[in-house]
Amino acid sequence: MHPFSYGSVHISASEPTAVPAIDHNYLDNEIDVRILLKGYKLLREIYKTSPLKEHIVTEVNPGAEIQTDADLTEYIRRTLGTTFHPIGTASMLPRKDGGVVDSRLKVYGTQNLRVVDASIIPIHLSAHLQGTLYAIAEKAADLIKE
Question: Which residue numbers are catalytic?
Answer: 85, 128
> Rounded to whole angstroms, how far apart are CA atoms 20 and 41?
37
Q: Tell me if residue 45 falls in helix, strand or coil.
A: helix
108: number of Cβ within 10 Å: 11
Distances in Å between the Cα of 10 and the Cα atoms of 7, 69, 85, 90, 111 are 10, 35, 19, 10, 19
Element (H, E) at 38: helix 30-47
